[in-house]
Chain A
Amino acid sequence: MPFLDFLKSTLVIGLLESAPLMLAAVGFTLIFCLNGFINIAYAENLTIGAYLAVTFNAMLGWNYYLSIIPASLLAGVVSVLTYLLVFRPAMKRGVGKTEMIILSVGLSFVLRFGINLIYGSELFNFNISKTYYLSFFGMGITSTQLICLGLALIIALGFYLFMYKTNYGQIMRALSDNENLAMVSGINPIKVSILVWFLAGVAGGLAGIFTGVFTWVHSSIGWNVILVILLVAIIGRVGSVRGALIAGASIGIITTAVTLVTQPAYGEIALLIIFIIFLKFRKAEV
């Protein structure tokens, strides 16, 4: 197709498709910002969000868009629970940074296979009443999907505004895993932590819910993308929410471009190489 069209499609589609990813990356970065470790179990935030939405929607018969609200809020609650029951006690016991990652992988398995035990291994689908099929910049898409992507984008921007333009957001950004600093500045560190983990959980849950519109909902939807989330967070210089958003959008755009031109398999190899390259860049700057 002519180059200008290609560019337009790539930008728009890439941006939209990366919206859930951007959301997830933001949530992931929030946790890394605050506690300084990589939480692989974050993948399950997405999965749990999607499954909760399925519960409300397909099982309880709620309207899809309505289901999003309780599902994402509950996902936030689950996230806070993992913090209070697992991660916080672990940190208090002096578990090292590397061991924390291993622990989070373990937790990821607990949650993922726990979901399998509760919900069974079947694949789920959202029950969406009215949906139209559109052609959007040369891509076949349903109206629901389009709306979801749009919502994701708006919410991602909302997070950006919250983190960078409000007082509370700025305070959260300024706090690293430094409880003393928090206490000295008169802020209750536990409250802030709970809020951060809640927001991260909501972000992840939403990302999962929106992603679930494009594919089947199964217990690995989070695990499948945790790497990309991690990559986005690393590229966005783990620790910067703004960076996560920009990186997420870029990755989405680049991936779209690559997919339009070549096979997805090469994209995977490229991903690994990019991953390692950015890990090294990150180290070089430290």
Chain B
Amino acid sequence: MGQILSGYYIYMFSLLLVFIALATILHLQFGVTGIANFGLSIFWGFGMYAFALLVLKLNIPFVLAVILATVLTGIIALVLGRFILNLDSQSVLVATLAFLVIIEVLITQEKWLTNGVMGIGPIPFPFDFGVYTKFVYFLIILLFTVALMLYAGKLHSAPYGRLLLSIQDNEPLAQSLGKPTFRQKIIFFTFTCALAGFFGAMAAPVYNFLFPKYLGAEVTFTLWIALILGSRKRLFGGLVGVLVTVGLFDVLLETVVPIPEQNAVILYNAKYFLYGLTLVLVLMFRPSGILGDKKRSINIRNTSKLEKKEG
């Protein structure tokens, strides 16, 4: 039992949860608010690395390090958001893409920051329950992921969610109703990117050793294809998308179907080839994704006079 709990499966499922959380964050940013953030992996990676450096180099205790990493990520998001969030959708996409590519270049060149291919680590877990350590940690990640999804779900029917949807739908019209759209976009962008940093920090002990490729274009791209495929407007779009992409390729294929060493590279290339192909086909033929578009409906649980009148 201990074997399974501390083994490969726990590792995979923990990361799967993190990716689901990230895809849901992207859903909030793009599917709900209309912010096409192509640099989400940067915030996640930054949270991860900031946390690692705080714990390893400055010996800061786990919980405090997580909090600090989250806040620092938020600050970066705030600065970036301040500059780009009053631009149109295409410009935001392009600007965040630029952010991604340039940070990627910086990371590969400035080896002193990330210790290059040797990685930073090992990053310890915050507690020790013997063989059950990783399993308990997995449960904690599960807790936070579920909390995030609950928040996102509630947001859909909350006034704030309505505001965000209106910003995506017709920002000038929302402004004409007095909504401070720029300010709200910055606030929400900062908050959600900070959450990404939080999950990055939480993912650090699972990875144990951190490598620069975690910040890369591939992570961002995987998240995007997962969300578009799963349905960007639906709460569970991220979850479905991640299960179908990462779950299929990285978990199922690797564990159930053992791939011989020499085919690993082919699989890698084929994976991203298929991802790209799926993205193109989905956007062309089923842009709303697997789960389809969301239908706005009034919450039936509300028992005010408003609902009674409908009968």
Interface residues of A (CB under 8 A from B): 37-38, 40, 86, 89-90, 93, 95, 97-99, 101-103, 105-114, 116-117, 121, 227, 230-231, 264-265, 268-269, 271-272, 275-276, 279-280, 282-283
Contacts and interface: CB of A to CB of B under 8 A. Distances in A.
Interface residues of B, number: 42
Contacts of A269: 102, 106
A230 B98 contact: yes
A99 B269 CA distance: 24
Q: Which 5 A-B pairs have the closest CB atoms?
A: A109-B276, A106-B279, A110-B276, A113-B273, A116-B269
A102 B276 contact: no
13 contacts: A90-B284, A93-B285, A102-B36, A102-B228, A113-B272, A117-B266, A117-B273, A265-B109, A268-B109, A271-B102, A276-B84, A276-B95, A283-B87
A232 to B, nearest CB: 13
Contact of B280 (A110, A121, A230, A283): A110
Contacts of B276: 105-113
Interface string B282-306: 0111010000000000000000000
Contact of B95 (A89, A90, A279): A279
B277 A106 contact: yes
A105 B221 contact: yes
A78 to B, nearest CB: 15
B87 A279 contact: yes
Contact of A117 (B94, B270, B279, B287): B270
Q: From DSSP, what is the main secondary structure of chain B's interface residues?
A: helix
Contact of B90 (A90, A101, A111): A101
B283 A106 contact: yes
Given A38-B90, A99-B287, A113-B269, 4 more contacts: A98-B93, A101-B90, A102-B36, A106-B225
B105 interface: yes
Contacts of B97: 40, 105, 227
A97 B89 CA distance: 9
Interface in B244-288: 265-266, 269-270, 272-273, 275-280, 283-285, 287
A107 B90 contact: no
A101 B93 contact: yes
